[in-house]
Structure 1
Amino acid sequence: MFYHDGGKLQYPVRVEKPSPLFAKALQQGIGGIQGEVRVCLQYLFQAWGARGPAKYRDMLLETGTEEIAHIEMLATAVALNLEGAPLEQDEAAKDPFVHAALGGMNIQHVIGTCMAAMPVDSEGVPFNCSHVYASGNIAADMLANATAESTGRMLAIQLWKMTDDPGMKDMLSYMIARDTMHQEQWMTAWEELGGRKNHPIPNSFPQDQENQEYNYAFMSFGLGDDYKAPQGPWTQGESFDGRAQYSSVTMRPLGEKPKLGPAPSAAPAQEAQLPSQQSTR
């Protein structure tokens, strides 16, 4: 169950110099793959399917709900940046500066929403949930969440750099700070779950059942006697989980070329692919 308090914002949103072009950029923070709709749904679906200690489910619910508030803030910012924008191209053409600004405007803000935000990215592509990750493995999800907050913070910083509006900078500064905290909390939860000692994920599968020759081997696919594989702590020394020593191998084919049989007689294949033709060759 979710509640609202009549539409009060989590943090003040003000726009001193409306910019339709910046409104378009802000859409990435709503419906982009780095945006708030993505993390909101990711955290909530992780929570709704969470099994195990209840505190992780509760934390996910709290932060998923906060992301709803961030969508609300950004949607408000989009609407405020669109206020005062000319509704007709002829009107815009009278002022070359306004016309130049509208050159990058999302026209759907004019013809589709009466100057309001949409669940789309900065190019107008609708959000489709393809980047919502809820695996059911709490450790894997914590790492996915930290990655999501990292790219979200990158986006918020770029938006902060794009604007000289004091109100927008203030709002984005707040959102950048929240991204910092969210990165920290997900990694802290991952560490509490065992961190590197509980790798590889999932740690419930017995490692003696996996191929022991290649489970800690870095594979190089370069050709030529003079090619040298990239060296680093991932090619030698103790593994991340402390369970083995890394090695580096030059990969060569271990299998043969696959040989497939003819296409089924009922398949929409060419005659040369069918059994009757291949048997005569």
Structure 2
Amino acid sequence: MFYHDNQLQYEVEVEEPDPEFGRMLQQAIGGVEGEMRVAMQYFFQAAAIPDEHAEYREMLRDTAAEELGHIEMLAAAVNKNLRGASASLGDGDSAVSELLPRQFLSSGMHAMPTDANGAAFDGSWIVASGNLAADMYANIMAESTGRLLATRLYELADDPGMKDMLAYLIARDTMHQNQWITLLKELGDPEEVFDVHPIPDSFPDEVENQEFSYAFMSTNVEPQEATDLPWTTGSSIDEEGEYSFLRELDLDGAPMSVPKPSAQAYNEPAPQGED
């Protein structure tokens, strides 16, 4: 159950409204790097965690709720940047031509669940595999790219209030990266995050085709010589094998063929002279 407090998580002030910057902020709401993604990602990951790991579930739920607050902040920021924009197609910073067309046509100059190009948020970006360790890798990536986006928006911002808000969001992304790395380490050896890799580690090694488990495969058509690189020689990071070097062209491979489709698919061209 969620409860709502009628205040923003952090102050959102815009001294000089900038409709074009309001459009850029949409990426942080409904883009692939945005807050809608991580809020839903953490929520559905939490929904899969059993009672025996309730502390992890609570951690994810807390952060999911925090990200909902970030959506609220960014929506307020978009609205304030669009304030005073004119319903005009003429030139000028206040014209609709500076906005996403849908911000005027579909929402009356307010924030929307879209990215900076007006494309709707896509739920297929959400990663919730049911394997907590695997999900943590996805969360680290999501927070890393989200932080990159916030830093880029910070560089684009001229308004002091927007820079202040983005500095807060950047800080929260720093914390979230660290907390997911900490949780990942908690699942394995505290000193080595990679002890929980590969995932799922419970899959029996003898069933895996171990000839290729630790072979770096070169797909370059030109002959490549094995070199003493960290991923081509020496012990693997999980300490269960030895890296090797393999050229894809040296594999026997298998012939490629496409079977004839069903007649009901009507893929065959009509014989010559027939309709």
Q: TM-score, normalised by structure 2?
A: 0.90
Instruction: Tell me the amino acid that sits aligned with residue 177 of structure 1.
Output: A
1:235 is the counterpart of 2:232: yes
- Provide, for residues 66-116 of structure 1, a one-character-per-residue CA deviation record: whole Å limited to 9, x for no partner: 000000000000000011111223xx54xx5555xx543212222221221
Q: CA RMSD in A?
A: 1.9
Q: Which residue of 2 aligns with 1:193?
A: 187
Contact 1:219 1:248 in 2 (8 A): yes
The unaligned stretches of length 5 or more in structure 2 are none
- Provide, for residues 5-38 of structure 1, a one-character-per-residue CA deviation record: whole Å limited to 9, x for no partner: 1x20000000001000000000000000000000
Q: Which residue of 1 aligns with 2:80?
A: 80
Instruction: Tell me the amino acid that sits aligned with residue 65 of structure 1.
Output: A
Identity of aligned residues (%): 48
Contact 2:35 2:68 in 1 (8 A): yes
Distance apart, 1:260 and its partner CA? 4.7
Larger mean CA deviation between 187-196 and 174-183 belongs to 187-196
1:121 is the counterpart of 2:118: no
Query: 1-side partners of 2:124 and 2:228: how far apart?
Result: 34
Distance apart, 1:213 and its partner CA? 1.0
1:250 is the counterpart of 2:247: yes
1:61 is the counterpart of 2:58: no
Distance apart, 1:255 and its partner CA? 3.0
Q: Which residue of 2 aligns with 1:11?
A: 10
Larger mean CA deviation between 205-214 and 12-21 belongs to 205-214
Instruction: Tell me the amino acid that sits aligned with residue 270 of structure 1.
Output: E
Contact 1:239 1:246 in 2 (8 A): yes
Segments ≥4 residues shifted beyond 6 Å: none
Distance apart, 1:206 and its partner CA? 1.2
Instruction: Tell me the amino acid that sits aligned with residue 196 of structure 1.
Output: F
Query: 1-side partners of 2:87 and 2:265: how far apart?
Result: 56
Distance apart, 1:272 and its partner CA? 8.8
Q: Does the C-alpha gap of structure 1 residues 272 and 230 become closer, same or farther in structure 2, counting only changes over 3 Å?
A: farther
Query: 1-side partners of 2:258 and 2:93: how far apart?
Result: 64
Query: 2-side partners of 1:143 and 1:106: how far apart?
Result: 33
SS at 1:249's partner residue? strand
Distance apart, 1:128 and its partner CA? 1.9
Contact 2:84 2:94 in 1 (8 A): no
Larger mean CA deviation between 114-123 and 193-202 belongs to 193-202
SS at 2:240's partner residue? coil
SS at 1:248's partner residue? strand
Once the two structures are superposed, the pairs formed by residues 138-217 of structure 1 within 5 Å of their partners are: 138-194=132-188, 195-217=193-215
The unaligned stretches of length 5 or more in structure 1 are 274-281
Q: Does the C-alpha gap of structure 1 residues 170 and 211 become closer, same or farther in structure 2, counting only changes over 3 Å?
A: same
Q: Which residue of 1 aligns with 2:29?
A: 30
Query: 1-side partners of 2:156 and 2:226: how far apart?
Result: 40
Contact 2:22 2:82 in 1 (8 A): yes
Query: 1-side partners of 2:222 and 2:142: how far apart?
Result: 39
Contact 1:40 1:64 in 2 (8 A): yes
Contact 2:16 2:159 in 1 (8 A): yes
Contact 1:46 1:60 in 2 (8 A): yes
Contact 1:220 1:229 in 2 (8 A): no
1:45 is the counterpart of 2:44: yes
